[in-house]
Structure 1
Amino acid sequence: MSGQAPTMPGGDAPAMVPDSDGRSWMRLIDWIWTVRGDINLPEGLSAEQAFARLDPFFHEPGTRFDRSDDSLTFSKKDPVAQDKMSIYDTGVLRIERDGGGAVLRYWMTSKSLLFCFLAPLLFVAFGQLIVGVGLLAGPGTEQADKKKDEKKKDEVRPLHWIDQALGAPEPEKPKKDDKDKKEGKNQFSPTSAYVFAGLFALLYIIGRILEDRLIRRRFQRSLAGG
């Protein structure tokens, strides 16, 4: 063990663990960046044996943890890519016993999931800002800019007298089709921002579902001795 993970005042669980009655207001939103679950321990497996089987997860570079009889808290800083829990920053694992046997409960937070959740909102805001700028610019300003550009493009610079002497052909005016294509482009289009928002939203949904299932499967396999 190297160091001790941050704990809540008056308890051994990190700040992301909800109140025991489950009515904490944070519980309404912390699912965004928190992965939680519970796994039934194999019959006859003690807490000491369970944590011994999960021990390899917490001996990766950049991982600090502290273990007691029935709980383990951890934190990660600059984890390596090979770390199977690199997406998580802090967490707690606790073994609880009741009439039905022992259960491993875990809560783990991820800044990466939070970033992927907030990124689409940021890009949508950018898109709305672009639309607002376009509305403020107004069609008159845009039309004036287009006329200036057209005038510059329509101007054909005369050939230098040396080029004329050598028989170089006169430069051609820009084709109308090319001008129409350029005119059709909207310089205040929010499309790119919305595309990035959609990509990050998809990334969050896939990551949130996939990471939840992956860590549960890995814990189950280790507890079963696999």
Structure 2
Amino acid sequence: MNAGFLNWIWHVKGSLRLAPEQTSDDVFERLAPLFRETGTSHKRASDSLTFQKKDPAAQDKMAVFENGVLQVEKGPTGAMLHYHLTSRALLFCFLAPLLFLGFAQITNLLATFEKPATEEASKKKPDQNTALPQNPIDKALGAPVPEKPKKKSAAEGQEKKHSPKSAYVFAGIFAVLYLVGRILEPRLVGALFRRKLQDQPALPG
């Protein structure tokens, strides 16, 4: 399978139309504060900017993206800003449900293999759920007869011993996180770039 076909999992691409008067220098000057955050390094070419992040700060608005390329292109309909960003956080949230589902399947297999052995062992053991005989002294004093312990089935004990429930719960949590992030993050970063490009540059003074 072509690896490029799977890039959509953790790659975010987008484009923004630029104002007619905006040049590459103006675009990257307005976006520059985003790439001066702690842990961020960037390199500027004539019409492009590449960046990398290592241990970004929590307040970094682009902390979810490890690296990316922004490029200004001029076309017949005007200039456009194209960006291509990658996020290992999205990749992790995509793979985590698969991992936990694998754990759940392993747990189910273990329970299936151990169930016959447990049932066979329970047949050979004496019945431990019967009530103990009452002590003669307790009986003479009028103490109540000990109640018979509640019988537990082998299936109940096996279910408690090997339960895939936790694995399914974590798989669901990470699946939701991925879906939310995959829908929300492209919109957030697009809105962030758009807002920066529309901000009026600070006047020297």
Which bracket does the TM-score occupy, shorter chain normalised? 0.7 to 0.9
The 8 Å contact of residues 38 and 106 in structure 1, kept in 2 or not, is answered as yes
Relative distance call for 1:205 and 1:172 in structure 2 (3 A) is: same
Tell whether 2:3 aligns with 1:26.
Answer: yes
Distance 1:107 1:88 in 2: 10
Which residue pairs with 2:182 in the alignment? 208
Which residue pairs with 1:194 in the alignment? 168
Could you list the per-position Cα deviations for residues 82-103 of structure 1 after superposition, in whole angstroms to 9, with x for gaps in the alignment? 0000000011101111111111
Distance 2:122 2:190 in 1: 59
Which residue pairs with 1:80 in the alignment? 57
**Count of aligned residue pairs for this structure pair:** 194
Which residue pairs with 1:217 in the alignment? 191
SS of 1:29's partner is: helix
Which residue pairs with 1:184 in the alignment? 156
The 8 Å contact of residues 90 and 178 in structure 2, kept in 1 or not, is answered as yes
SS of 2:38's partner is: coil
Tell whether 2:118 aligns with 1:142.
Answer: yes
Relative distance call for 1:141 and 1:70 in structure 2 (3 A) is: same
Residues 128-137 or 78-87, more deviating:
128-137
Could you list the per-position Cα deviations for residues 139-194 of structure 1 after superposition, in whole angstroms to 9, with x for gaps in the alignment? 331224556898556575999x9xx8xx9x68945642xx4489635133322212
Which residue pairs with 2:203 in the alignment? none
The 8 Å contact of residues 134 and 146 in structure 2, kept in 1 or not, is answered as no
Could you list the per-position Cα deviations for residues 30-58 of structure 1 after superposition, in whole angstroms to 9, with x for gaps in the alignment? 11011110111112111100001101110
Distance 2:94 2:65 in 1: 15
Which residue pairs with 2:24 in the alignment? 47
The 8 Å contact of residues 113 and 204 in structure 1, kept in 2 or not, is answered as yes
What is the TM-score with the length of structure 2 in the denominator? 0.82
Aligned identity (percent) is: 41
Distance 1:123 1:190 in 2: 9
Uncovered stretches (5+) of structure 1, i.e. residues with no partner: 1-24
Q: CA deviation at 1:199?
A: 1.3
Distance 1:76 1:196 in 2: 28
Aligned-pair Cα RMSD in Å? 2.8
Distance 2:188 2:113 in 1: 48
Relative distance call for 1:135 and 1:75 in structure 2 (3 A) is: same
Relative distance call for 1:73 and 1:149 in structure 2 (3 A) is: farther
Distance 2:88 2:148 in 1: 52
Relative distance call for 1:28 and 1:151 in structure 2 (3 A) is: same
Uncovered stretches (5+) of structure 2, i.e. residues with no partner: 201-205
Residues 150-159 or 82-91, more deviating:
150-159
SS of 1:81's partner is: coil
The 8 Å contact of residues 100 and 167 in structure 2, kept in 1 or not, is answered as yes
SS of 1:96's partner is: strand
Which residue pairs with 1:8 in the alignment? none
